[in-house]
Amino acid sequence: MSKLQIKFDIQSFWHIGCAEEGGAYVDSLMLKDRNGLPYLPGRAVKGLLRSAFSLAESKGWFQAPEELSNLTDYIFGSEGEGLATQGLLTIDSASLGQNEMEFFVSNNGAAEQLFDVHFSTAINENGVAQEGSLRSMEVAVPMVLVCDIDIQENSLKPLIGVETIKSWLKSVCPLVSEFGAKRTRGYGQVVVTAE
């Protein structure tokens, strides 16, 4: 098994929703961990990397063994049950670094500084706000999140070495440039790197 650390250097406000409303506070709350800190779930990290890897594969970035028809499925897994559908990656959630987390946990109220509330409304053809269209969304400030990825050998079909997979994953990180809600409005701009 080999490890890879992914760094998400988030350059703008961002929002990953928890599918809950905040009453009079906001219409859409941020997803937070048990300490009230923002994070990017492992499944979201996997989805971002999978999309980037699939794009790179479609552009011919990688030299895959002939017996592999879909390199992305081989590495990230595919739908279905059983070992044959499992991928080679175990991806943790992306969260603040250990020192930052300890700071926010030990300083009561400090985590509130990580969030803001943004409002939006729909504008009609006359340039006037449409009645009843005002929405509010809790967002997180720009920050750096990190996560670990474990890369395992495929015991059933050991076709590619973990160091090769590691280098491929590093090469696709720059293809992830945004994530989360309202990314077309400038939210969730990110620079992703791997070590």
Give the tens place of pLDDT for each residue, 93-142: 999 999 999 999 999 999 999 999 999 888 888 888 888 888 899 999 99
Which tokens sit at 99? Answer: 């020192």
Which tokens sit at 27? Answer: 């219409």
Residues 128 and 47: their CA atoms lie apart, in Å, by 38
Alpha-carbon torsion 34, 36, 40, 43, what sign? positive
Count the neighbouring beta carbons within 10 Å of the beta carbon of residue 102: 12
Taking only the tens place, the pLDDT of each residue in 56-100 is: 999 999 988 888 888 999 899 888 776 667 889 999 999 999 999
Report, as an integer, the average pLDDT of 141-155.
90
Pairing of strands 89-91, 190-194: unpaired
Phi-psi region of 4 (alpha: psi -120 to 50; beta: other; left: phi over 0): beta
